[in-house]
Structure 1
């Protein structure tokens, strides 16, 4: 089953890995799952943002 993806450049939705309009690599349109018991979320946020709080 394929999930819908979104182009970060022009905001179009598609099922393909690359945007058919601009050729940019698409990203999943849905946010990652969240769990209140997840103890590593702090480190994933730091890694994603590239800075220390």
Structure 2
């Protein structure tokens, strides 16, 4: 059983879609950290651009 978080209304649910606003729900946990992460540089750049 997984818990998801809605992108739009920030409600937590056990389903892939939010029952309140019907938008997609995502896994609220961040990806695991690895010091050898080859894409870490690009992920940090994407966060800065937001």
Coarse TM-score class (shorter-chain normalised): 0.7 to 0.9
The normalised TM-score by structure 1 is: 0.70
Q: What are the ranges of 5 or more consecutive residues in structure 1 without an aligned counterpart?
A: none
Q: What are the ranges of 5 or more consecutive residues in structure 2 without an aligned counterpart?
A: none
Q: Are 2:37 and 1:18 equivalent residues in the alignment?
A: no
CA-atom RMSD, angstroms? 2.2
Q: Helix, strand or coil: the match of 2:41? A: helix
The normalised TM-score by structure 2 is: 0.73
Paired positions, count: 48
